[in-house]
Amino acid sequence: VSAHVGDQFGVTNQHLLSGVFGWFYFSINLGAFAAMLLIPWLLAEYGAAVAFAAPGLLMLVATVAFWSGRYRFVHIQPSGMGFLKEVFSPVGLKVLLKLSSIYIFIAVFWALFEQTGSSWVLQAQKMDRMIFGFEVLPSQIQVANPLLIMLLIPVFNSVIYPLLNKIVVLTALKKISMGLFLTTIAFTIPALIQMQIEQGLVPSIGWQILAYVILTAAEVMVSITCLEFSYTQAPKSMKSFIMALFFMSVALGNLFTSAVNFFIVNDDGSNMLTGAGYFWFFTVLMLITAILFIFLSQNYQEKTYLQEEQDRYIFYSKKF
């Protein structure tokens, strides 16, 4: 779907790409936010059968709605297996090498970001979770992310990015670089929180929410930018392939975290990294990654590939 979104824009309206990927990401998180509120309620009130059936039915509705708009979408003629010729061409291999080097750094970002559903939840269990007189469940804190995404996307597009552009020419790689440093700051907060917990204190959940705000801002600068960057930097017949490669960085990040959790276990069952040390390990790793990314981005030569108008068409035949 991400590549299909980009296909709607060519050379003549490429200036709209940044905004549209932002709103595409907004819609994804709108669904995530609604699901986080609706599904637990359905599970509690009507049981697991309804809780599983509801998103399945909604996905069916979404599929029908998407299919019904096929006569309005711009379509790119599928290249079939012919795309392999471009993948293994000198240009294709060069693009793969360049973008893969970027995605390795992005994988570290995902290694930290995805811990909001694991180590951050475990930490929240030991915090004061009272918010405006109500005690929230540890796992419910995660709803802050999609909510903040929906709030921050318009703020970044309308305020923050225009202001930053007045200070420095804001390229995609500079956005990503800033996002990586923000991730370092965001992960410093739970590390400090964990130090307080180990001292016997019960910190307010507000501190973790602050970390969510900073981490979500980093997500806006890294994830949304990578969607657009992956599309524009990929040759015409490789756009879906490169987009899939970007999404593999999410899996690689999770795999790295799993590997860390596996190798820190000693033979006697104890862990080499526990408590605050665990959070500080990832914080320092992210800082090193962000610094190294600066040097990489300085040597990266961007080249934009967009669909030409003659390559884009709309289906008008109802036989399709």
pLDDT tens per residue across all 320 residues of the chain: 777 777 777 666 777 777 788 889 999 999 999 988 888 889 888 999 999 999 999 999 999 998 888 777 777 777 777 778 888 899 999 999 999 999 999 999 999 999 999 999 999 999 999 999 899 888 889 999 999 999 999 999 999 999 999 999 999 999 999 999 999 999 999 999 999 999 999 999 999 999 999 999 999 999 999 999 999 998 888 888 999 999 999 999 999 999 999 999 887 777 888 899 999 999 999 999 999 999 999 988 888 887 665 555 544 444 43
Amino acid at 148: L
- 224, 22 Cβ separation under 8 angstroms: yes
- 4, 125 Cβ separation under 8 angstroms: no
Domains assigned to the chain: 81-307 (1.20.1250.20)
How would DSSP label each residue in 124-141?
Answer: HTTSB-EETTEEPPGGGG
